[in-house]
Amino acid sequence: MSAPRVWTSPGRILCPWVLLLGPMLLIAAGCATSSGGASSGGGKSVVNPGQQSNTGWPFWPQKMRVHPLSQFVKDRHTGNFLLEARVEFSDPYGHICKAYGEVVIALYDANPSHFEENEIGSWAEDLTDLDQNQIFFDDVTGTYLFRLEIEGMSVPDASELQILFHSADGSVLQDSYVVQK
């Protein structure tokens, strides 16, 4: 009896070469450049000149909202209570974007009596400082996160968080949100 004959299929011969050369071809194709000498990225930008701000940048913030993730928290390191104010900006196309300007944050009693002062506290943050801008921006949520000290303040169960944004292009955006303790 002779040993069974083993057939070698073309796939068995080509497979190691495809595994070896395939990634090299994909890498080479990904590194191809456009006529400008830089990676083209494959994206297409559509600009509506009528919606540009006077800065010439079409993606300047047009809307702002106090994000519903804004909340009161207890700092795990210090044990102090903080207000985490989250702010989201969007461009004329409705896409989340970064902002450049000054943010003014104020906390008010949502149910004030007629004889009490309404404002609990206020803070201002400068987003024209690019280092600060980067520190405050949360890549995961696409919001700016401001962790504000409220220790020692008399904060009611329901507080209204009002945020005013003075953009570097001269526009002013405003929003508010009621935060529960």
Query: Could you please report the per-residue DSSP string of 8-32?
Result: PPHHHHHHHHHHHHHHHHHHHHHT-
The predicted pLDDT at position 11 comes to 55
Mean pLDDT of the region 47-62:
63
In this structure, what token pair is assigned to residue 24? Answer: 């090299």
Contacts of 68 (CB under 8 A, 6+ apart): 177
Q: Would you tell me which CATH number, out of the four given (3.40.50.2300, 3.40.50.10680, 1.50.10.10, 2.60.40.10), belongs to the domain 57-180? A: 2.60.40.10
For the chain, domain boundaries: 57-180
Alpha helix ranges (H) inside 8-163: 10-30, 130-136
The predicted pLDDT at position 61 comes to 95
pLDDT surpasses 90 at 56: no
